Chain A
């Protein structure tokens, strides 16, 4: 069984550029999560989708960040324009959704460096 697939694994870009991170959740999973991990702040939930609908985006840092889930098998997290403080590892995770007990299946992450 394929796990959660994220791309790119590594991205180096310059300040001001647009960055798009991609995620394919596990087939059959109804919930999708985007997390950000940094040394200073640890793991932060950015946004949570259930059945392709954004349920909680209170963790999205600011308007420069946006996320979409056009269908059950694909999601994107976009940063425009990017800033050096956005440098982090971004994880996508999925699970079965409603009624699930909290077990999350994580992708391997996208390491973003903004110069």
Chain B
């Protein structure tokens, strides 16, 4: 069965420092991969997605993620974070049907 593991429940980082949020998945078939962001008291919105092609995917707000098939990972990165990036980030996997398998989320805490 598919599963998604976000290894860190919280990641504190200083403003303007780089950040990496980790995501690993398990699946026996080809998958689509997603990162969603949830700002406080809001719904989730798509940050970026990997469907096929280039393994480096760029998203909104300066975020990018790299699909690594051999390591079954899809880590999210940003070279320099801002206070406005404070949010919870969710990794998700889809096997080409309607069902998304969600990670537990990682709270990004920006320290001034």
Contacts and interface: CB of A to CB of B under 8 A. Distances in A.
Does more than half of chain B's interface fall in helix, strand or loop, or is it mixed? strand
B46 interface: yes
A109 B88 CA distance: 15
A98 to B, nearest CB: 9
A56 interface: yes
A107 B100 CA distance: 17
Interface residues of A, number: 22
Given A4-B43, A103-B34, A108-B43, A43 B102 contact: yes
A101 B43 contact: no
A55 B98 contact: yes
B5 interface: no
A70 interface: no
B104 A104 contact: no
Given A102-B92, A104-B100, 4 more contacts: A33-B98, A48-B99, A101-B32, A102-B98
Nearest to A100: B98
A41 B44 CA distance: 16
Which of the listed residues A31, A93, A102, A103 has the most CB atoms from chain B within 10 Å of its own CB? A102
Interface string A43-64: 1010010100001100000000
Which of the listed residues A4, A50, A104, A108 has the most CB atoms from chain B within 10 Å of its own CB? A104
Given A101-B32, A102-B32, A108-B42, A50 B49 contact: no
B32 A91 contact: no
A14 to B, nearest CB: 24
24 contacts: A4-B43, A42-B102, A42-B104, A43-B102, A45-B99, A45-B100, A48-B99, A50-B98, A55-B98, A56-B99, A91-B44, A100-B98, A101-B49, A101-B51, A101-B94, A101-B96, A102-B49, A102-B94, A102-B100, A103-B46, A103-B49, A104-B46, A106-B44, A109-B42
Contacts of B100: 45, 102, 104
